[in-house]
């Protein structure tokens, strides 16, 4: 007999739907969120809609403006540079720790993800490349095993996702990103924590250049 999870609050499902609309640009950066209209569109009351908006505000995807309501966050160049600075610090540390902590099974899984990344790049499949790229970084963070650091990274990457995919379409960036991932993987496989840290730092520096 099939069973369903029934304990998930409605607002979490609503937050998932809103998040997807933001990432797909159906809700454009800077656009005002009409709670009443959205609630009617989703067939719900305004209470779970408000709770969902609070969740996305805590993630940085929505900005609450005093007496003006909720708006989809707009990320400018200064914001991107600050986000990349913090992410670089945290993900460099994650790469360093993963080189020291990874089990053989985890190394094999990381290698497998990179092979999938290579295929996506060869196929010029940016959507697939973007998805696998995220999994590659998430696995490194998982191996590092610092849940507090990983929580901050996850929230920052959600905001970065509003722009990150666009950078891969710039001339030569897809192949350059692939080479940078090879360097990160090679260092982790060798358990060279300093090389892993340096490779991740280079990856973020080049990514910021592409976004600029």
Residue 167 predicted with pLDDT over 70: no
114's CB contacts (< 8 A; 6+ apart) are 136, 181, 182, 185
User: CA–CA separation, 175 vs 192, rounded Å?
Assistant: 24
Q: Kindly tell me if the per-residue pLDDT of 166 is higher than 60.
A: no
pTM: 0.77
| Torsion angles phi and psi, residue 24, rounded to 5 | -85, 0
Task: Give the per-residue pLDDT at 3.
Answer: 44
pLDDT of res. 162: 78
Question: In which element (H, E) is residue 201 found?
Answer: helix 193-211
Contact 14, 48 (CB under 8 A): yes
pLDDT score of 146: 96
Instruction: Name residues whose C-beta falls within 8 Å of residue 171's C-beta, 6 or more positions apart in sequence.
Output: none
pLDDT band with cut points at 50, 70 and 90 for residue 1: very low
CB 70 within 8 A of CB 50: no
Q: Is residue 159 predicted with pLDDT exceeding 50?
A: yes
């Amino acid at each position: 007999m099939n069973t369903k999870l029934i304990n998930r609050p409605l607002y979490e499902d609503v937050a998932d739907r809103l998040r997807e609309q933001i990432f797909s640009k159906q809700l454009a950066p800077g656009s005002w969120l009409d709670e009443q209209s959205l609630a009617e569109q989703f067939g719900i009351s305004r209470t779970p809609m408000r709770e969902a908006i609070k969740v996305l505000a805590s993630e940085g995807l929505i900005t609450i403006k005093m007496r003006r309501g909720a708006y989809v966050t707009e990320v400018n160049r200064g914001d991107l540079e600050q986000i990349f600075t913090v992410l670089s610090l945290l993900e460099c540390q994650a790469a360093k720790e993963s080189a020291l902590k990874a089990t053989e099974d985890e190394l094999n899984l990381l290698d497998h993800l990179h092979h999938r990344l290579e295929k996506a790049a060869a196929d010029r499949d940016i959507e697939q490349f973007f998805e696998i790229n995220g999994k590659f970084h998430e696995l490194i963070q998982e191996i590092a095993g610092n849940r507090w650091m990983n929580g901050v990274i996850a929230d920052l990457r959600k905001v970065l996702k509003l722009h990150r995919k666009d950078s891969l379409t710039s001339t030569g960036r897809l192949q350059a990103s692939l080479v940078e991932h090879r360097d990160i993987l090679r260092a982790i496989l060798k358990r060279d924590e300093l090389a892993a840290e340096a490779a991740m730092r280079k990856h973020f520096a080049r990514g910021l250049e592409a976004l600029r």
